[in-house]
Amino acid sequence: VRVSFEQGGEQLTSKSLIIDTELIRYKWVSNGGNYPDYEKLIPTEFITYAHFDTVEAIKAVNSLKALSDGKAYPIDLTIGDGKIVMANPDDKGQAELVADTDGEAIKVRIDGSYLAQALKACGGMVDFSLTNALSPMLFTADGYQLMVMPMITDKAQAEAKAKDKATAKAEPVAEPVTA
């Protein structure tokens, strides 16, 4: 058996791993490149925080999944007043979790399967941080960070547009200086 590397592949910087045996030659092509700067995607400013138990949250997600009609099951999360309320958007059911919350009360919609996967990955107690109903949600546990994008609702989109208009009106417009 002989192991070697060859130049080539789809890019100039790519190399291929070659394993030659008496009967067969194996070739694995790699792709060269740089990993994207993912740290720019992780939000750094938040308006809402929650700290809660993922075991109880997974039970709540599973109970709402049982009430859903299809494979996809959106869940509305309402965070504030020392609790997280998980509800089915069709008002078929809801579950309430005790949580340490801080910041503004907020409502956001998330795909239930993504939420369940995030909670299982974090395990135990998790810190949940949110900027707004349109930005990525950040789950943090023991130095592990996980982001999940929310589902965009008409209400969240309308609130974002109204906030953008209010910000645009509040910003003063600079007038040209004439000499």
Residue 170 backbone dihedrals phi, psi, to 5 degrees: -75, -25
pTM: 0.72
Candidates 149, 136, 117, 111; CA nearest to 46 is: 136
Q: How far apart are CA 59 and CA 61, in angstroms?
A: 6
Q: How far apart are CA 52 and CA 56, in angstroms?
A: 8
Q: How far apart are CA 23 and CA 46, in angstroms?
A: 60
pLDDT digits (tens, 9 = 90+) for 20-68: 999 999 988 877 667 788 888 888 999 999 999 999 999 999 999 998 8
pLDDT digits (tens, 9 = 90+) for 65-120: 998 877 789 999 999 999 999 999 888 899 999 999 999 999 999 999 999 999 99
Candidates 36, 17, 35, 41; CA nearest to 27 is: 17
